[in-house]
Amino acid sequence: MKVTSTRMADGRELLYFDERDDAARVLVDRRDLARPEIQSEMRHDPVLDEWVAIAGHRQTRIFQPTGTAAECPLCPTRDDDHLTEIPSSDYDVVVFENRFPSFALDALEPDTDDAAGGLVPRRPAKGRCEVVCFTSDHDSSFRALPSSRVRTVLEAWVQRTTELSGLPEVEQVFAFENRGQEIGVTLSHPHGQIYGYPYVTPKTRRMLESARAHQARTGRNLFADVLAAEVADGRRVVARSAHWTAFVPAAARWPLELHVYPNERVLDLPGLSEEQRADFGPFYLDLLRRVDGLYDTPTPYIAGWHQAPVRTDRDLAYLHLQLLSIRRAPGKLKYLAGSESMMWAFVNDVSPEQAAERMRTVTPVDGPA
Protein backbone atom coordinates (compact mmCIF):
# COMPACT_ATOMS: atom_id res chain seq x y z
CA MET A 1 0.00 0.00 0.00
CA LYS A 2 1.23 3.48 -0.93
CA VAL A 3 0.42 6.46 1.33
CA THR A 4 0.81 9.97 -0.10
CA SER A 5 0.32 13.07 2.02
CA THR A 6 -0.48 16.55 0.75
CA ARG A 7 -2.09 19.77 1.93
CA MET A 8 -5.39 21.22 0.78
CA ALA A 9 -5.81 24.88 -0.20
CA ASP A 10 -6.73 25.88 3.36
CA GLY A 11 -3.90 23.90 4.96
CA ARG A 12 -5.79 20.78 5.97
CA GLU A 13 -3.97 17.45 5.55
CA LEU A 14 -5.10 14.93 2.92
CA LEU A 15 -3.75 11.40 2.49
CA TYR A 16 -4.18 9.04 -0.45
CA PHE A 17 -4.11 5.32 0.42
CA ASP A 18 -3.43 3.49 -2.84
CA GLU A 19 -3.35 -0.23 -3.53
CA ARG A 20 -0.71 0.18 -6.25
CA ASP A 21 2.74 1.55 -5.56
CA ASP A 22 2.82 3.25 -8.98
CA ALA A 23 -0.42 5.19 -8.44
CA ALA A 24 0.00 8.88 -9.32
CA ARG A 25 -2.38 11.34 -7.68
CA VAL A 26 -2.89 15.07 -8.10
CA LEU A 27 -1.56 16.82 -5.02
CA VAL A 28 -2.43 20.47 -5.71
CA ASP A 29 -5.82 21.76 -4.54
CA ARG A 30 -6.77 24.52 -6.98
CA ARG A 31 -9.58 25.99 -4.89
CA ASP A 32 -9.35 29.36 -3.17
CA LEU A 33 -10.05 28.40 0.45
CA ALA A 34 -9.22 30.14 3.69
CA ARG A 35 -8.87 28.13 6.89
CA PRO A 36 -11.88 29.04 9.03
CA GLU A 37 -11.54 29.87 12.68
CA ILE A 38 -12.50 26.80 14.68
CA GLN A 39 -14.66 27.98 17.56
CA SER A 40 -15.10 24.55 19.17
CA GLU A 41 -14.87 24.42 22.92
CA MET A 42 -15.60 21.85 25.60
CA ARG A 43 -17.67 22.40 28.69
CA HIS A 44 -17.75 19.96 31.59
CA ASP A 45 -21.19 18.93 32.85
CA PRO A 46 -20.80 18.70 36.64
CA VAL A 47 -24.01 16.70 37.08
CA LEU A 48 -23.14 13.86 34.69
CA ASP A 49 -19.34 14.29 34.88
CA GLU A 50 -19.11 14.47 31.08
CA TRP A 51 -17.46 16.79 28.58
CA VAL A 52 -19.74 18.35 25.94
CA ALA A 53 -18.38 19.92 22.75
CA ILE A 54 -19.89 23.24 21.63
CA ALA A 55 -19.18 23.82 17.93
CA GLY A 56 -21.38 26.57 16.53
CA HIS A 57 -19.38 26.86 13.29
CA ARG A 58 -20.75 23.45 12.22
CA GLN A 59 -24.10 25.05 11.47
CA THR A 60 -22.60 26.15 8.13
CA ARG A 61 -21.38 22.69 7.08
CA ILE A 62 -22.36 21.30 3.70
CA PHE A 63 -25.81 19.72 3.47
CA GLN A 64 -26.68 17.86 0.30
CA PRO A 65 -30.18 16.38 0.39
CA THR A 66 -30.22 15.46 -3.32
CA GLY A 67 -27.14 13.22 -3.07
CA THR A 68 -26.15 13.85 -6.69
CA ALA A 69 -22.56 13.18 -7.78
CA ALA A 70 -22.50 16.48 -9.72
CA GLU A 71 -22.52 18.41 -6.44
CA CYS A 72 -20.74 15.92 -4.19
CA PRO A 73 -17.66 17.34 -2.40
CA LEU A 74 -16.31 13.80 -1.79
CA CYS A 75 -16.17 12.75 -5.43
CA PRO A 76 -12.89 13.16 -7.33
CA THR A 77 -12.16 16.42 -9.13
CA ARG A 78 -12.85 15.59 -12.76
CA ASP A 79 -13.29 19.04 -14.34
CA ASP A 80 -12.67 22.72 -13.61
CA ASP A 81 -16.34 23.35 -12.90
CA HIS A 82 -16.45 21.02 -9.91
CA LEU A 83 -13.39 21.28 -7.71
CA THR A 84 -13.91 18.97 -4.74
CA GLU A 85 -12.17 18.09 -1.49
CA ILE A 86 -10.10 15.52 -3.43
CA PRO A 87 -7.96 17.18 -6.15
CA SER A 88 -7.19 13.95 -8.04
CA SER A 89 -9.43 12.57 -10.80
CA ASP A 90 -9.56 9.15 -9.12
CA TYR A 91 -8.58 7.50 -5.85
CA ASP A 92 -8.77 4.27 -3.89
CA VAL A 93 -9.16 5.47 -0.28
CA VAL A 94 -8.70 9.05 0.91
CA VAL A 95 -8.48 10.49 4.42
CA PHE A 96 -8.56 14.22 5.09
CA GLU A 97 -9.19 16.68 7.89
CA ASN A 98 -12.85 17.62 8.25
CA ARG A 99 -13.58 21.12 7.02
CA PHE A 100 -16.15 21.61 9.80
CA PRO A 101 -14.65 19.69 12.74
CA SER A 102 -16.02 19.22 16.23
CA PHE A 103 -12.41 18.95 17.45
CA ALA A 104 -9.31 20.56 15.95
CA LEU A 105 -5.73 21.10 17.03
CA ASP A 106 -6.07 24.82 16.29
CA ALA A 107 -9.38 25.27 18.12
CA LEU A 108 -9.52 28.74 19.67
CA GLU A 109 -9.38 29.36 23.38
CA PRO A 110 -12.77 30.21 24.93
CA ASP A 111 -13.21 33.76 26.18
CA THR A 112 -13.20 32.55 29.80
CA ASP A 113 -12.06 29.34 31.45
CA ASP A 114 -15.30 28.67 33.31
CA ALA A 115 -19.06 29.16 33.17
CA ALA A 116 -21.93 28.99 35.66
CA GLY A 117 -19.95 30.51 38.47
CA GLY A 118 -17.04 28.12 38.10
CA LEU A 119 -19.15 24.95 38.10
CA VAL A 120 -18.62 24.37 34.38
CA PRO A 121 -14.95 24.44 33.30
CA ARG A 122 -14.30 25.38 29.66
CA ARG A 123 -11.39 24.56 27.43
CA PRO A 124 -10.66 24.51 23.68
CA ALA A 125 -11.83 21.36 21.90
CA LYS A 126 -8.37 20.34 20.76
CA GLY A 127 -8.44 17.05 18.88
CA ARG A 128 -8.83 15.85 15.31
CA CYS A 129 -11.77 15.00 13.04
CA GLU A 130 -11.11 13.24 9.74
CA VAL A 131 -13.20 12.05 6.79
CA VAL A 132 -12.52 8.64 5.20
CA CYS A 133 -13.73 8.13 1.61
CA PHE A 134 -13.96 4.40 0.90
CA THR A 135 -14.17 4.65 -2.89
CA SER A 136 -14.33 7.23 -5.67
CA ASP A 137 -17.60 5.62 -6.90
CA HIS A 138 -20.38 7.89 -5.65
CA ASP A 139 -23.11 5.27 -6.15
CA SER A 140 -21.35 2.42 -4.35
CA SER A 141 -21.46 1.41 -0.67
CA PHE A 142 -19.20 -0.28 1.85
CA ARG A 143 -20.85 -3.66 1.29
CA ALA A 144 -20.22 -3.37 -2.47
CA LEU A 145 -16.47 -2.97 -2.00
CA PRO A 146 -14.17 -5.86 -2.94
CA SER A 147 -12.36 -7.53 -0.04
CA SER A 148 -9.11 -5.96 -1.23
CA ARG A 149 -10.59 -2.48 -0.79
CA VAL A 150 -11.88 -3.32 2.70
CA ARG A 151 -8.33 -4.30 3.54
CA THR A 152 -7.14 -0.89 2.30
CA VAL A 153 -9.76 0.86 4.44
CA LEU A 154 -8.69 -1.25 7.42
CA GLU A 155 -5.05 -0.29 6.88
CA ALA A 156 -6.08 3.36 6.69
CA TRP A 157 -7.92 2.98 10.03
CA VAL A 158 -4.81 1.34 11.49
CA GLN A 159 -2.47 4.06 10.22
CA ARG A 160 -4.70 6.88 11.40
CA THR A 161 -5.22 5.26 14.82
CA THR A 162 -1.45 5.06 15.21
CA GLU A 163 -0.90 8.65 14.08
CA LEU A 164 -3.70 10.20 16.11
CA SER A 165 -2.74 8.22 19.20
CA GLY A 166 0.63 9.92 19.04
CA LEU A 167 -0.89 13.39 19.42
CA PRO A 168 -0.67 14.69 23.01
CA GLU A 169 -4.15 16.20 22.68
CA VAL A 170 -5.85 12.88 21.80
CA GLU A 171 -7.07 10.41 24.45
CA GLN A 172 -9.27 8.11 22.33
CA VAL A 173 -9.59 7.28 18.62
CA PHE A 174 -12.95 6.30 17.13
CA ALA A 175 -13.36 5.15 13.50
CA PHE A 176 -16.97 4.88 12.35
CA GLU A 177 -19.42 4.95 9.45
CA ASN A 178 -22.91 6.47 9.36
CA ARG A 179 -24.95 5.10 6.46
CA GLY A 180 -28.39 6.30 5.30
CA GLN A 181 -30.41 9.51 5.49
CA GLU A 182 -32.51 7.99 8.28
CA ILE A 183 -29.36 7.99 10.44
CA GLY A 184 -28.75 11.65 9.60
CA VAL A 185 -26.15 11.34 6.83
CA THR A 186 -26.02 14.53 4.77
CA LEU A 187 -23.57 13.31 2.11
CA SER A 188 -24.46 10.06 0.38
CA HIS A 189 -20.98 9.32 -1.01
CA PRO A 190 -19.59 6.16 0.71
CA HIS A 191 -17.54 7.54 3.57
CA GLY A 192 -16.87 7.36 7.28
CA GLN A 193 -15.12 9.43 9.88
CA ILE A 194 -12.37 9.21 12.49
CA TYR A 195 -12.49 11.22 15.69
CA GLY A 196 -9.48 11.85 17.88
CA TYR A 197 -11.20 12.83 21.13
CA PRO A 198 -9.43 14.98 23.74
CA TYR A 199 -11.04 12.87 26.47
CA VAL A 200 -12.24 9.30 27.01
CA THR A 201 -15.87 9.22 25.89
CA PRO A 202 -18.66 8.56 28.43
CA LYS A 203 -19.64 5.20 26.94
CA THR A 204 -16.06 3.93 26.96
CA ARG A 205 -15.59 5.09 30.53
CA ARG A 206 -18.72 3.20 31.57
CA MET A 207 -17.65 0.05 29.74
CA LEU A 208 -14.20 0.09 31.31
CA GLU A 209 -15.63 0.71 34.78
CA SER A 210 -17.70 -2.46 34.33
CA ALA A 211 -14.61 -4.29 33.06
CA ARG A 212 -12.60 -3.15 36.07
CA ALA A 213 -15.28 -4.39 38.50
CA HIS A 214 -15.52 -7.72 36.64
CA GLN A 215 -11.75 -8.17 36.75
CA ALA A 216 -11.72 -7.43 40.48
CA ARG A 217 -14.40 -10.08 41.06
CA THR A 218 -13.14 -12.79 38.71
CA GLY A 219 -9.60 -11.95 37.63
CA ARG A 220 -10.75 -12.20 34.00
CA ASN A 221 -11.44 -9.83 31.13
CA LEU A 222 -15.12 -8.89 30.86
CA PHE A 223 -15.21 -8.69 27.07
CA ALA A 224 -13.47 -12.05 26.64
CA ASP A 225 -16.00 -13.61 29.02
CA VAL A 226 -18.92 -12.06 27.09
CA LEU A 227 -17.57 -13.46 23.81
CA ALA A 228 -17.01 -16.91 25.32
CA ALA A 229 -20.51 -16.93 26.82
CA GLU A 230 -22.15 -15.97 23.51
CA VAL A 231 -20.22 -18.62 21.62
CA ALA A 232 -21.13 -21.26 24.21
CA ASP A 233 -24.82 -20.28 24.08
CA GLY A 234 -24.88 -20.01 20.29
CA ARG A 235 -28.42 -18.69 19.89
CA ARG A 236 -27.33 -15.13 19.18
CA VAL A 237 -24.21 -15.91 17.12
CA VAL A 238 -24.77 -14.73 13.55
CA ALA A 239 -21.44 -15.78 12.01
CA ARG A 240 -18.06 -17.10 13.06
CA SER A 241 -14.79 -17.49 11.18
CA ALA A 242 -11.27 -18.55 12.09
CA HIS A 243 -10.54 -15.08 13.48
CA TRP A 244 -13.85 -13.23 14.02
CA THR A 245 -17.23 -13.75 15.69
CA ALA A 246 -20.40 -11.68 15.19
CA PHE A 247 -23.30 -11.90 17.61
CA VAL A 248 -26.37 -9.99 18.75
CA PRO A 249 -25.77 -9.04 22.39
CA ALA A 250 -28.16 -10.65 24.87
CA ALA A 251 -29.24 -7.22 26.15
CA ALA A 252 -29.36 -5.49 22.74
CA ARG A 253 -30.83 -2.00 22.90
CA TRP A 254 -31.53 -1.63 19.17
CA PRO A 255 -33.80 -3.68 16.87
CA LEU A 256 -30.72 -4.55 14.82
CA GLU A 257 -27.44 -4.66 16.74
CA LEU A 258 -24.31 -6.65 15.98
CA HIS A 259 -21.06 -6.90 17.91
CA VAL A 260 -18.02 -8.15 15.98
CA TYR A 261 -15.08 -9.42 18.05
CA PRO A 262 -11.71 -10.85 17.05
CA ASN A 263 -11.54 -14.34 18.52
CA GLU A 264 -8.14 -13.53 20.03
CA ARG A 265 -8.05 -10.39 22.16
CA VAL A 266 -6.30 -7.28 20.91
CA LEU A 267 -6.59 -3.75 22.30
CA ASP A 268 -6.89 -1.64 19.18
CA LEU A 269 -6.77 -1.74 15.39
CA PRO A 270 -2.96 -1.52 15.15
CA GLY A 271 -2.81 -4.65 17.34
CA LEU A 272 -4.57 -6.84 14.77
CA SER A 273 -2.44 -9.64 13.35
CA GLU A 274 -1.92 -10.21 9.64
CA GLU A 275 -4.31 -13.18 9.82
CA GLN A 276 -7.01 -11.15 11.57
CA ARG A 277 -6.68 -8.34 9.03
CA ALA A 278 -6.88 -10.69 6.05
CA ASP A 279 -9.96 -12.45 7.45
CA PHE A 280 -11.86 -9.28 8.33
CA GLY A 281 -12.84 -8.14 4.81
CA PRO A 282 -14.72 -11.27 3.65
CA PHE A 283 -16.26 -11.71 7.11
CA TYR A 284 -17.52 -8.13 7.46
CA LEU A 285 -18.79 -7.92 3.87
CA ASP A 286 -20.90 -11.04 4.45
CA LEU A 287 -22.41 -9.39 7.55
CA LEU A 288 -23.22 -6.18 5.66
CA ARG A 289 -24.85 -8.16 2.86
CA ARG A 290 -26.98 -9.94 5.45
CA VAL A 291 -27.91 -6.62 7.04
CA ASP A 292 -29.02 -5.28 3.65
CA GLY A 293 -30.93 -8.49 2.94
CA LEU A 294 -33.31 -7.88 5.82
CA TYR A 295 -35.43 -5.30 3.97
CA ASP A 296 -36.35 -4.27 0.44
CA THR A 297 -34.21 -1.12 0.67
CA PRO A 298 -30.67 -0.63 2.03
CA THR A 299 -30.56 -0.71 5.82
CA PRO A 300 -29.47 2.50 7.56
CA TYR A 301 -26.82 1.83 10.18
CA ILE A 302 -24.02 3.14 12.35
CA ALA A 303 -20.88 1.01 12.63
CA GLY A 304 -17.89 1.92 14.77
CA TRP A 305 -14.80 0.50 16.43
CA HIS A 306 -14.47 0.42 20.22
CA GLN A 307 -10.72 0.70 20.85
CA ALA A 308 -8.67 0.99 24.02
CA PRO A 309 -8.05 4.57 25.14
CA VAL A 310 -4.64 5.94 24.24
CA ARG A 311 -3.24 6.22 27.76
CA THR A 312 -5.63 4.87 30.40
CA ASP A 313 -7.18 1.47 31.26
CA ARG A 314 -5.73 -0.24 28.20
CA ASP A 315 -5.37 -3.46 30.19
CA LEU A 316 -9.17 -3.68 30.50
CA ALA A 317 -10.06 -3.16 26.83
CA TYR A 318 -10.92 -5.54 23.97
CA LEU A 319 -11.20 -4.23 20.41
CA HIS A 320 -14.62 -4.79 18.87
CA LEU A 321 -16.94 -3.29 16.28
CA GLN A 322 -20.55 -2.40 16.98
CA LEU A 323 -23.17 -2.05 14.24
CA LEU A 324 -26.69 -0.84 14.97
CA SER A 325 -29.72 0.22 12.99
CA ILE A 326 -32.79 2.21 13.98
CA ARG A 327 -34.95 0.35 11.42
CA ARG A 328 -37.26 -2.04 13.29
CA ALA A 329 -39.50 -3.17 10.41
CA PRO A 330 -40.06 -2.34 6.72
CA GLY A 331 -40.88 1.36 6.56
CA LYS A 332 -40.64 1.76 10.34
CA LEU A 333 -37.90 3.36 12.41
CA LYS A 334 -37.23 3.13 16.12
CA TYR A 335 -37.62 6.59 17.59
CA LEU A 336 -36.42 6.91 21.15
CA ALA A 337 -39.36 7.29 23.50
CA GLY A 338 -39.35 9.83 26.31
CA SER A 339 -38.18 7.22 28.83
CA GLU A 340 -35.30 6.24 26.55
CA SER A 341 -34.23 9.75 25.50
CA MET A 342 -34.52 11.32 28.93
CA MET A 343 -33.70 8.44 31.29
CA TRP A 344 -31.62 6.12 29.02
CA ALA A 345 -34.04 3.30 29.96
CA PHE A 346 -34.06 1.33 26.70
CA VAL A 347 -36.84 -0.96 25.53
CA ASN A 348 -36.17 -3.17 22.50
CA ASP A 349 -39.18 -4.31 20.48
CA VAL A 350 -37.18 -7.10 18.81
CA SER A 351 -35.92 -10.20 20.63
CA PRO A 352 -32.12 -10.53 20.24
CA GLU A 353 -32.56 -14.26 19.58
CA GLN A 354 -35.07 -13.56 16.80
CA ALA A 355 -32.83 -10.87 15.30
CA ALA A 356 -29.85 -13.24 15.25
CA GLU A 357 -31.89 -16.05 13.69
CA ARG A 358 -33.15 -13.76 10.97
CA MET A 359 -29.64 -12.55 10.12
CA ARG A 360 -28.33 -16.13 10.06
CA THR A 361 -30.99 -17.26 7.60
CA VAL A 362 -31.44 -14.17 5.42
CA THR A 363 -30.26 -14.25 1.83
CA PRO A 364 -27.27 -11.88 1.57
CA VAL A 365 -27.66 -9.09 -0.99
CA ASP A 366 -24.98 -8.67 -3.64
CA GLY A 367 -24.18 -5.77 -5.92
CA PRO A 368 -24.11 -2.00 -5.37
CA ALA A 369 -26.41 -0.23 -2.93
Query: Same fold for the domain at 2-200 and the one at 203-361?
Result: yes
The pLDDT, as a whole number, for residue 68 is: 72
Q: What's the pLDDT tens digit per position in 259-312? A: 999 999 999 999 999 999 999 999 999 999 999 999 999 999 999 999 999 999
The pLDDT, as a whole number, for residue 300 is: 96
Residue ranges for the known binding site are 72, 75, 138, 189
Give the residues of the chain that fall short of pLDDT 50.
Answer: 65
Q: What's the pLDDT tens digit per position in 83-95? A: 999 999 999 999 9
The string of DSSP codes covering 135-193 is -S-TT--GGGS-HHHHHHHHHHHHHHHHHHHTSTT-SEEEEEEEESGGGT-S--SSEEE
Spot the catalytic one: 44, 57, 82, 191: 191
Torsion of Cα atoms, 232 then 238 then 239 then 243, to 10°: -60
The dihedral built from the CA positions of residue 67, 321, 291 and 145, taken in this order, carries a sign that is positive
Residue ranges for the known binding site for Zn(2+) are 72, 75, 138, 189
Enumerate long-range contacts of 347-350, CB under 8 Å, 24 or more apart. 348/252, 348/253, 348/254, 348/255, 349/255, 350/252, 350/255, 350/256
Residues 356 and 260: their CA atoms lie apart, in Å, by 13
Contact 122, 42 (CB under 8 A): yes
Hey, what CATH class is 203-361 in?
Answer: alpha beta
Phi-psi region of 180 (alpha: psi -120 to 50; beta: other; left: phi over 0): left
Domain ranges of the chain: 2-200, 203-361
CATH number of 2-200: 3.30.428.10
The pLDDT, as a whole number, for residue 37 is: 83
The pLDDT, as a whole number, for residue 16 is: 98
The pLDDT, as a whole number, for residue 66 is: 53
Contact 225, 214 (CB under 8 A): yes
The dihedral built from the CA positions of residue 133, 96, 165 and 105, taken in this order, carries a sign that is negative
Residues 325 and 350: their CA atoms lie apart, in Å, by 12
Contact 310, 201 (CB under 8 A): no
57 is catalytic: no
How many CB atoms within 10 Å of residue 217? 9
Residues near 147 by Cβ (< 8 Å), separated by ≥ 6?
A: 281, 282, 285
Helix H or strand E encompassing 293 = none
